[in-house]
Structure 1
């Protein structure tokens, strides 16, 4: 199992309010990846995303003992999301500077041949195989709701002026609801996590091409970032890639 990651503030933003982490466990059969995209004032988004990553992993890691089942991991990951939500929400109430801050969160926890994905907001998880690219997560966003109702096509959603309005975030309320998915993996399969700064500039098929046919896997995240930067990258960009 191998993993790589990269984050960048993009071409327009003055600060990078994204945060990510990768944990590969010594036994080689377990891993945890997490990406958060913060929102708030000049510094609060950065505080929210960093705190969410730290709290999520601090809650998650001690419970990921060898032999833990995917069902148990799902419960552990949801509990870790709840603890991260509580930490960000509490911090937001301590100062005017942090008031109203929040963050998205998407995580993948791999145990053996299964991955548990949890998400809040519009950061995404994809499974990539020689057969294609599959989005695992559903965006908690205004335009995703409009696509589901048939009011927008997926391509129209990418260009919609309200594409950045999310309907669910971590830390903005005392309680949060996250989605959870269990995905079966085969040797050689990929999981890719990213903030919306990537997918608003880079299409799914371009991601698929770079992962499967790019020059080298260690440079894949950097190449995807370069594509986003070449197209203006108005938002922070974060990409994390794992190969089973």
Structure 2
């Protein structure tokens, strides 16, 4: 059985919450999906981008799952990202107030025992198995992450680098966007966390693991956000916790 809880908070500094999350669940058919988006853009464009992307992404997922001919989960996710990207891009093109807007996206699709994660940008997915170390499933699409992968920055340097907020992929920035897809082996007792960088910028991975291993989904999610808020939360904070019971 899937237990999940998601929560978003404006944080302590921002005047608007530009994060968004949406979920879809069909217990009868063993289908579940949840998406977290972190928008960017002037005025209220960031919140428009994230909400539009999350809604469009899940809308496409549901249409695919209800279709007579079922396609592979990785194709469902890539096509859903492409659809959401097109919706955000078109809105930015047509609405002067939305020019330049974009959003990250991280999501998980669970179809029975088949679990697949997709991401664009620097919102992350983590997996914690009982008795094992926390695993970051996704790779950030950001300037500092690329520098870390090339060995030009350490993870510690990346956390305080002046260009740490520059992302290299986002929905809505261009007509086409590349997404990364990851198959995940999810078993009883495992916990998944999807989150925006408003959480990971304030809470260490050791702390993430501590909360994920000791609390039920709702308490884990709420406690992680409270910890980020206690540390000043200069950005919006969103977390979604999924546990297999």
Asked whether the equivalents of residues 64 and 73 of structure 1 are also in contact (C-alpha less than 8 Å), the reply is no
Aligned to 2:59: 58
Asked whether the equivalents of residues 19 and 39 of structure 2 are also in contact (C-alpha less than 8 Å), the reply is yes
> How large is the Cα RMSD of the aligned pairs?
1.7
SS at 2:27 equivalent = coil
Aligned to 1:230: 230
In the TM superposition, 1:10-49 aligns within 5 A as 10-27=11-28, 29-49=30-50
- Structure 1: runs of 5+ lacking an equivalent: none
Aligned to 2:100: 100
> Deviation of residue 26 (structure 1)?
2.7
Q: Separation in 1 of the partners of 2:65 and 2:206?
A: 34
Aligned residues: 242
Q: Separation in 2 of the partners of 1:57 and 1:119?
A: 14
Q: Separation in 2 of the partners of 1:133 and 1:162?
A: 26
Aligned to 1:77: 77
Matched, 1:143 2:144: yes
Deviation per CA, 1:156-190, whole angstroms, max 9, x where unpaired?
21122211110110011111111111111111211
Q: Separation in 1 of the partners of 2:220 and 2:96?
A: 40
Aligned to 1:86: 86
Q: Separation in 2 of the partners of 1:186 and 1:155?
A: 32
> Deviation of residue 100 (structure 1)?
0.8
> Deviation of residue 65 (structure 1)?
5.2
Aligned to 1:115: 115
Asked whether the equivalents of residues 118 and 180 of structure 1 are also in contact (C-alpha less than 8 Å), the reply is yes
The alignment's TM-score, normalised by the length of structure 1, stands at 0.95
Asked whether the equivalents of residues 8 and 236 of structure 1 are also in contact (C-alpha less than 8 Å), the reply is yes
Asked whether the equivalents of residues 41 and 101 of structure 1 are also in contact (C-alpha less than 8 Å), the reply is yes
Deviation per CA, 1:166-217, whole angstroms, max 9, x where unpaired?
0110011111111111111111211110000000000111011011124x43
Deviation per CA, 1:122-142, whole angstroms, max 9, x where unpaired?
000011111121000000000
Aligned to 1:152: 153
Write out the 4+ residue segments of structure 1 that deviate beyond 2 Å after TM superposition: none
> Deviation of residue 93 (structure 1)?
0.9
In the TM superposition, 1:111-190 aligns within 5 A as 111-130=111-130, 131-190=132-191
Asked whether the equivalents of residues 91 and 98 of structure 2 are also in contact (C-alpha less than 8 Å), the reply is yes
The alignment's TM-score, normalised by the length of structure 2, stands at 0.94
Asked whether the equivalents of residues 3 and 22 of structure 1 are also in contact (C-alpha less than 8 Å), the reply is no
